[in-house]
Chain A
Amino acid sequence: SAVISQKPSRDICQRGTSLTIQCQVDSQVTMMFWYRQQPGQSLTLIATANQGSEATYESGFVIDKFPISRPNLTFSTLTVSNMSPEDSSIYLCSVLLGGPSSYNEQFFGPGTRLTVL
């Protein structure tokens, strides 16, 4: 298994500002993911962040809005840029132990609850 921590756990921000969310894992992992869970909705994948390569974004998400860093195998950051109230969500990181096509599960962090005023 993996233990994942996220900082901050919650924040209230003003529109137009940016927030960087940190995700720390207690073991080295190749694949990390960032998800968004909007109020009353399910989790939606924002991007896949693999160490040593550019993040891969899902349809509807762009690097300028959600830049991601992955400097090593235990850490990643997601920045929510130029925030608007529509960005109010819970942001979660997850990790996949082992390879992408093997019999593995994802472990999730506790999430960062973001409110944009």
Chain B
Amino acid sequence: AQSVSQHNHHVILSEAASLELGCNYSYGGTVNLFWYVQYPGQHLQLLLKYFSGDPLVKGIKGFEAEFIKSKFSFNLRKPSVQWSDTAEYFCAVNLYNQGGKLIFGQGTELSVKP
């Protein structure tokens, strides 16, 4: 069965530190890839998405992600985190031609210390 794995359950960083959250998926076909964020008390919001083209995609709030097809990975990065980035981050995969449904990773809770 298709699955999405996020390597880190909980990450704690100080402000200005660099961030990289890992995401791997298991599916050999064409995929669309997403990172969603859920800030405390708020609903899920899209950070960025990859459908095709340049494998390095930029999202909101200075986040970027790189799709490496050979590694089935879509890692999220940010060069310098802020306290306001404290949130839960979800990687998700949409299997092409299987409707719009998303398969989510387990989520990574990011805590940024001021």
Task: Name which of B13-21, B66-74, B79-87, B97-105 contacts chain A.
Answer: B97-105
* Residues from chain B with Cβ under 8 Å of A45 in the complex: 101-103
A-B pairs under 8 A by CB, number: 47
Number of A interface residues in the complex (CB < 8 A): 22
A91 nearest CB across to chain B (Å): 12
In the assembled complex, A13 has its CB within 8 A of some CB on chain B: no
Task: Name which of A18-26, A36-44, A75-83 contacts chain B.
Answer: A36-44
Bound together, the chains give a CA A42 to CA B103 distance in angstroms of: 9
Q: Is the beta-carbon distance between B100 and A31 smaller than 8 angstroms?
A: yes
In the assembled complex, B51 has its CB within 8 A of some CB on chain A: yes
Tell me the nearest residue of chain B to A6, going by C-beta: B43
Please give the residue numbers on chain A whose beta carbons come within 8 Å of chain B beta carbons, in ascending order. 31, 33, 41-45, 48, 58, 92, 96, 100-101, 103-111
Please give the residue numbers on chain B whose beta carbons come within 8 Å of chain A beta carbons, in ascending order. 32, 34, 36, 42-46, 49, 51, 90, 96-97, 99-107
